[in-house]
A and B are shown apart, each in its own frame.
Chain A
Amino acid sequence: GAGVSQSPSNKVTEKGKDVELRCDPISGHTALYWYRQSLGQGLEFLIYFQGNSAPDKSGLPSDRFSAERTGGSVSTLTIQRTQQEDSAVYLCASNLKVEGYGYTFGSGTRLTVV
């Protein structure tokens, strides 16, 4: 597609429920990132996918968080047993991973855990 697409735009869920957030990167972009941004804060790195390499999961805050990227394209971030502190905007970005290119971000998913 023309840009990075994320769905849903907004998600309200009850504490303890599981949620899935989807990211559809720009076609041909080999690198895909998930970041989290709490209200008024900077971006917190979660996970990075690059081609067929093993993902860098070093930013995932707990084992309740997992992500996969199928066929080197669409990615799903899953949060199990959601907690109120998981409330944030989850941002996905993709890139050609070529030196000198910036990242294209999606519009994010605003997750609210009540």
Chain B
Amino acid sequence: SQQGEEDPQALSIQEGENATMNCSYKTSINNLQWYRQNSGRGLVHLILIRSNEREKHSGRLRVTLDTSKKSSSLLITASRAADTASYFCATDNTGNQFYFGTGTSLTVIP
């Protein structure tokens, strides 16, 4: 399976702390994307990192990609209660679909 795997499955932190989530995958990719899902409904695209990039920033988000280890991490700095959600990584290779992991459930305690 080419499915990404997020780690940890669940994470609980205090507001203001940083949250780090990891994603591992199995095959070569064109790019890797991170999505957020609230209340089990639609996913919101957060950030995309291409296979030739190593790090990318967007606001409080920082994504790294290590293609040699087939892994990525998502760092959310200065977390807020509104960041409480499930976070998924999705890998895009030359096929017709994105492969989503099972997600990390993040709880930010006010």
Interaction A to B: yes
Cβ of A56 and Cβ of B97 under 8 Å apart?
Answer: yes
Cβ of B96 and Cβ of A102 under 8 Å apart?
Answer: no
Cβ of A91 and Cβ of B100 under 8 Å apart?
Answer: no
- Name the interface size band of chain B: 20 to 34
Cβ of A91 and Cβ of B97 under 8 Å apart?
Answer: no
Q: Shortest beta-carbon distance, B83 to chain A, in Å?
A: 18
Cβ of B42 and Cβ of A42 under 8 Å apart?
Answer: no
CB neighbours (8 Å) of A100 from chain B are 31, 48, 50
The CA of A56 and the CA of B95, in the complex, are separated in Å by 10
**CB-nearest residue of chain B to A6:** B42
CB neighbours (8 Å) of B42 from chain A are 4, 91, 105-108
CB neighbours (8 Å) of A42 from chain B are 3, 88, 100-103
How many residues belonging to A are interface residues under a CB distance threshold of 8 Å?
A: 28
Q: Shortest beta-carbon distance, A61 to chain B, in Å?
A: 14
CB neighbours (8 Å) of A106 from chain B are 42
Q: Shortest beta-carbon distance, A97 to chain B, in Å?
A: 10
Listed by A's residue number, 20 A-B pairs whose Cβ atoms lie within 8 Å are: A35-B100, A39-B40, A42-B3, A42-B100, A42-B101, A48-B96, A50-B96, A56-B97, A99-B50, A101-B48, A102-B33, A102-B45, A102-B48, A103-B98, A105-B42, A105-B43, A105-B44, A105-B45, A108-B41, A108-B42
Report B's interface with A, CB cutoff 8 A: 3, 30-31, 33, 35, 40-45, 48, 50, 88, 90, 96-103
